Structures are given as structure tokens and as C-alpha cells.
Amino acid sequence: MVIFAQTPGFDSWLTPFLAPHLGAGPAQAVAMLLVLIGILAFISVNVMFLVWLERKISARIQNRTGPMMTGPRSFAETSMWFGGFLQTPADSIKLLFKEQIVPAKADKVPFYLAPMTIFAVCLSAHVVLPFGPLFWVADLNVGLLYAVGISSLTVLSILMAGWASNSKYSLLGGLRSAAQMLSYEIPLIFALLAPILMAGSLSMVEIVKAQAEYGVWFCVPSLLGLLIYFVSSIAEVNRPPFDIPEAESELVAGYVSEYSGLMFAMFFLAEFANMFLVSGIAATVFLGGWLIPFFDAPELTHPGLVEHPRLWVQVLGLLSFWVKAYFLVVIMMWIRWTFPRLRPDHLMNFGWKFMLPVAFLNLLGSALAVLLYQAYDTYLAFWAVGIVLVVSVVLIMRALKEPPPYRGPR
Amino acid sequence: MTDAIFYVLAGLILTSAMSMVQARNLFHAGLALITCFLGVAGLYVLLNAPFIAALQVLIYAGAIAVILLFGFMLTHHVMRDESNKRFSQQAAGMGAAAVMCGVLVAVIGASPWKTGPAPTHIDDLNQLGQQLLTSYLLPFELASVFLLAALVGAIMIARKEEGPPPP
């Protein structure tokens, strides 16, 4: 059987150590299993850190006392970053020890399946994310499409949860979520098409290599694409200001209303892991992945082909990806704690009537950029197209802006 | 290894398809249908067609089936387990399925299957794109025009009649 990995990833690091003991075939299988367990552990630890980060940021923005103070008093007095470090352990222990309540009239099988599938989907999508040069589980030749396709199954778990709970709040939350995710998936995919077109490949690793080859990150020619992708992905992971499916004031907690304890924790975990996943995809596809500006090293531009890769360059590449991904995550949290929730009809209008046409324009511009690059063989083509696109969209928006409603003489 | 995976997938597809037809509850039928789609995607992966597999997951399991479930949830009485299947209908359906199965087995057994050498390259995506825009340009464009017509038609049907403005 052909495994569609193009460049060997993580498991190729482990196989040489296991092969003398197990034989070549089983060693590869065991190495893959170990890598998957590693990814699972990574997601859990990363999510705990993200929860802590979100609480800290919310506390800074909205002046909440809990996450600033929980824990020994001396810690909080030392530095603003140490105060409240016991908040996440307290949350986790509370969730672990809560009673599992299943509604009597719930549809049992989908009710239990929904939290499991939402986490399984999230775990499978992490497989193609390149964390750094040679730090990936599998470099599929359809990597990006695989990630998007697998992530689109999240809505299924949400529908299952909403329906199986047998409660009107859950059902409405599930329905709203499905409508929102289906609408925002379209601009999201069209935004991702621009870098795919410029790189000429669907593999995440190839897209990063293409950015190294062109000498520009794809956020330069398609800054609009990055913005559209980012906004759509906030809607995809159901975070504010797109959290209409779980609007507390109308729907209690939407599709998670009837879940408690560990099953709720699974939804919570999946939300944060998805947040990191979409930020990681944006960092890889638009922000150059593990590449570092003004720093060229063969380990970064041609991973896997260097005879003796230098460890510190690999670590720098890893750090570069993490800085970019976490930068986007922090922006997502910042948006969450600053903006009010959108109204459903505004949400639909924005998605279909603004984001989709701009995504089309962006795709056309990217095609033009590739043509110009091939004709003149200079990376300035990407800069020119990017600037022209942004300026023209700003001008069009100014021209189409409706005058404010007349409120009578002042 | 490949054979074992194939049999597991085939078992999954057959059982989920059966339970979809037999389910007394529309929502359960929809879930079984999605399991079936995912199993078929697995078969595509076994056939060295990762692009088709990813599209199968994205379009069939991720979009079409979700819209189906969406429709079920908006219908009345969806929470109740009721179905209007009767024994005579089941018998007729089984009879038709048996005849169909017989025909398929006969055709598959009678036709000579030509097998070529297994493809050595795994980067089939570029070739697929080039073939779609050169050799198969006409069917490709026809399909897109057809889809566009369906889209415009659906919007026209769903659109509200524009009457005089309300007083």
C-alpha cells in the first residue's frame, strides 16, 4: 500500500531506533502509533496552556479578578504573569469530578458519540500540520484539502449533539451552527485557493517551500486572503463575535446545554485545539510556516535534503512557526473579549455578500501575480499585485459605503 | 495488509448501508449514510486516489449529508420514532434488491477485467487538472454550466415574490 507521504516526517526519526528490535515493517507501524500518541499528548498540554492564556487575556481586558489572583498570594504579587496560575488546574479538576448527567429522553448513541467524534476529527486534522522543518506527522500530497475536509466534519458532531440532547435550546444551537459553518466554509476555501494556486500544490510542506522559493510570504500578494481566512475560521470554530450558536442570553449554551463533566470537557478541548489548528494553517499557508525573514538556511528552504542539519536552525524554524501561530491565537482571543456578538442576518450578509466576492477578487489577483512573476521573474510582482488589490478593495468599499441614516436636524 | 483493510472497510460500508435502510429514525439513517460515505472514502485511499478521497469527505460527508441532516431537523415529528414502512413494502424492496444483486453479480462475473500496471507516481493531481482542462474540457464545462443553471433555478424558486410594499 502506498502511503501518500512525500517527505518523511516524525516517524522516520523513530524508525531507526525501533527497527533492530522489531523488524522494519512493525517498526514503522509502531513509530506512527507513537507519533499519534505524541500528538494527542501535545494537544492536551497545548490546550491547557491556551485555556490559561485565554483566562489571563480576558482578565487583563475585562479586569476579572479570578485568573489574576487564584493561587498563592505571593505569586500574584511577584508578576502579573504568575498570578492565577492555579486557575487552569482548578478548572480541569472541577470538570473531571463533575457528575455525568445524561437526559432521560436523550438519544443515547449520538449523545455519547458527539463529544468523541468532535475530538477525533480535531486530532486527525492535526496530522498534516507542519510544526517546523521535518516536524510533521505526514506530508500528504493533498494535505490542505485533507485538513479542510476533515475539519468540515466538526459540524456533524455539533448537529449530533444538538439533536441527541432532545432539548429545544440544543436543537436551535445545532441548527444555527450548521448554517453558519456551511456559509463560512465557502469563503474559507476560496481564500485558501489563492496560496494553492501560487504554490501549485496542495501539500502544506510544498506551500512553505514555494514561499521560500519566491522570496515572499503569501500574505503579501493575498493579504485579503489571509484576512478572509482568519475571519471565516473564527466563524468555523464558533468563537465570538461569531458565537451565535451558543449565545448565552438566548440559547443557554447552545448545543452543549445538556452536557456536563468530562463530555463537556471534550467539546471545550476540541474548541481550543481547533483554534490552534486554524491559526497553524494560516501561519503555514500565508505567513511562511517555519521560514524566518532575512534568514536563509538550507535546512529551512530544503528540509530533508540537507546531509547534517544543524540543530539550532531546526529549533529556530520551530520557534518561528510557534510565534506566528500563537500571534494569531492571541489576536483571536483579543477579538473575543473586545467585540460584541453579531446578529444572525448580519452574519449571513457579511459572509455571502462581502467575503465571497472579495475572495474571488483575491483569487484573480493571485493568478495575475503568478503570471507577472513568470513574465518578469522578480518577487516585486507579488508586492505590486498585493498593494493594488488592497487599495482597490478599500476604494470600492468607500464608494459603496451607505450614508448614515438621517436623524433630523442637529 | 491491504486486503485486511479492504475487508474491514467493505464490512463497514455494507453494515452502515443496511442500517441506513433499516433505521426507523430519519436522523439515525442520516448518520449511517455518513458512515457509509466515509467508508467509501477509505476505499478511494486504498485505490491510491487521495484527492478523490478528500473530495468525498469534503463534499459528500461534509456538505451534502450535513444539508440532509439539516433538512431532517427542520421537519415535523423528527424526534419520534415513527416510520410508515409496512411488511409488503419491505418484501417488495428486498425482491427488487435481490434481482439487482443477481444482475450485478452476473455482469461482474461475465465481463473480462483488464488490469494495467499499478501507477508508480503518486502526484496525480497535476495530471488530473491538465486532463480536465484539455482532453475533458467539454464535459467539464458542461457540468459547470449545468450546476450554474441548477443554482440560478434554486435561487429563483426560493426567492420571495416582490409585491407592493407593506403600508
Q: In A, which residues are within 8 Å of B68 by CB distance?
A: none
* Model pLDDT, residue A181: 82
Q: In B, which residues are within 8 Å of A2 by CB distance?
A: 48, 122
* Model pLDDT, residue A238: 79
A107 reaches B (C-beta below 8 A): yes
Minimal-distance CA residue of chain A relative to B66: A156
* Model pLDDT, residue B100: 93
What is the distance in angstroms between the Cα of A160 and the nearest Cα belonging to chain B?
9
Count of CB atoms within 10 A of residue A162's CB?
A: 30
Alpha carbon A17 to its chain centroid, in Å, reads 33
DSSP single-letter state for residue A341: P
What is the distance in angstroms between the Cα of A260 and the nearest Cα belonging to chain B?
22
Q: Which of A7, A127, A153, A180 to mutate to test the interface with B (most CBs of B within 10 A)?
A: A153
Q: Do B65 and A159 make contact, defined as CB atoms within 8 angstroms?
A: no
What is the distance in angstroms between the Cα of B98 and the nearest Cα belonging to chain A?
31
Angle CA B35–B41–B43, to nearest 5: 110
List all residues 6 or more positions away from A377 whose beta carbon is below 8 Å from its beta carbon: none
**Ramachandran quadrant class, A304 (left: phi over 0; alpha: psi -120 to 50; beta: rest):** left
Cis link prior to A241 (omega < 30° from 0)? yes
**Which of A185, A210, A172 shows the shortest CA–CA distance to A344?**
A172
With a cut of 50, which residues of chain A have pLDDT below it?
Answer: 1-5
The residues in A 186-245 lying below 8 A from B, measured between CB atoms, are 200-202
Q: In A, which residues are within 8 Å of B79 by CB distance?
A: 166
* Model pLDDT, residue B79: 56
Q: Is A17 buried (19+), middle (13-18) or exposed (0-12) by CB count in 10 A?
A: exposed
Q: In B, which residues are within 8 Å of A163 by CB distance?
A: 27, 69, 73, 78
ipTM above 0.95, yes or no: no
* Model pLDDT, residue A210: 85
Q: Which of B125, B126, B151 to mutate to test the interface with A (most CBs of A within 10 A)?
A: B125
Q: How far apart are CA A186 and CA A20, in angstroms?
A: 49
Q: In B, which residues are within 8 Å of A160 by CB distance?
A: 31
* Model pLDDT, residue A4: 45
* Model pLDDT, residue A34: 80
List all residues 6 or more positions away from A135 whose beta carbon is below 8 Å from its beta carbon: A9, A10, A290, A314, A318
Minimal-distance CA residue of chain A relative to B59: A149
Q: In A, which residues are within 8 Å of B123 by CB distance?
A: 6, 141
- Residue B36: pLDDT over 80: yes
Average pLDDT over all residues of chain B: 82
Minimal-distance CA residue of chain A relative to B48: A2
Minimal-distance CA residue of chain A relative to B69: A159
- Counted residue by residue, chain A has a size of 410
Q: In A, which residues are within 8 Å of B51 by CB distance?
A: 142, 145, 202
* Model pLDDT, residue A230: 92
A335 reaches B (C-beta below 8 A): no
What is the distance in angstroms between the Cα of A284 and the nearest Cα belonging to chain B?
20
Q: Do A171 and B66 make contact, defined as CB atoms within 8 angstroms?
A: no
A152 within 8 A of A217, measured Cβ to Cβ: no
Count of CB atoms within 10 A of residue B10's CB?
A: 13
Phi, psi of A292 (to 5 degrees): -120, 130
* Model pLDDT, residue A3: 45
Buried b (16+ CB within 10 A) or exposed e, A41-58: eebeebbbebbbbbbbbb
For A143-203, the DSSP string reads HHHHHHHHHTTHHHHHHHHHHHTT-HHHHHHHHHHHHHHHHHHHHHHHHHHHHHHHHT-S-
Minimal-distance CA residue of chain A relative to B4: A1
Buried b (16+ CB within 10 A) or exposed e, A185-197: bbbbbbbbbbbbe
**Which of B7, B11, B34 shows the shortest CA–CA distance to B23?**
B34
| Structural element, H or E, at residue A333 | helix A311-338
Percent of chain B with pLDDT over 90: 23
Q: Do A141 and B50 make contact, defined as CB atoms within 8 angstroms?
A: yes
Minimal-distance CA residue of chain B relative to A5: B122
Q: Do B61 and A156 make contact, defined as CB atoms within 8 angstroms?
A: yes
Phi, psi of A296 (to 5 degrees): -110, 130
* Model pLDDT, residue B96: 92
Q: Do B73 and A163 make contact, defined as CB atoms within 8 angstroms?
A: yes
Q: How far apart are CA B50 and CA A140, in angstroms?
A: 9
Q: Which of B70, B74, B121, B126 to mutate to test the interface with A (most CBs of A within 10 A)?
A: B70
Between residues B60 and B124, the one the model is more confident about: B60
Q: B82 in helix, strand or coil?
A: coil
Count of CB atoms within 10 A of residue A222's CB?
A: 32
CA distances from A141 to A135, A310, B20 (A): 16, 27, 33
For the stretch B78-121, pLDDT in tens is 555 555 556 677 788 889 989 999 999 999 888 887 777 766 55
Query: If you count residue pairs, one on A and one on B, with CB atoms under 8 Å apart, how many are there?
Result: 84
Q: In A, which residues are within 8 Å of B48 by CB distance?
A: 2
Phi, psi of A132 (to 5 degrees): -175, 180
List all residues 6 or more positions away from A354 whose beta carbon is below 8 Å from its beta carbon: none
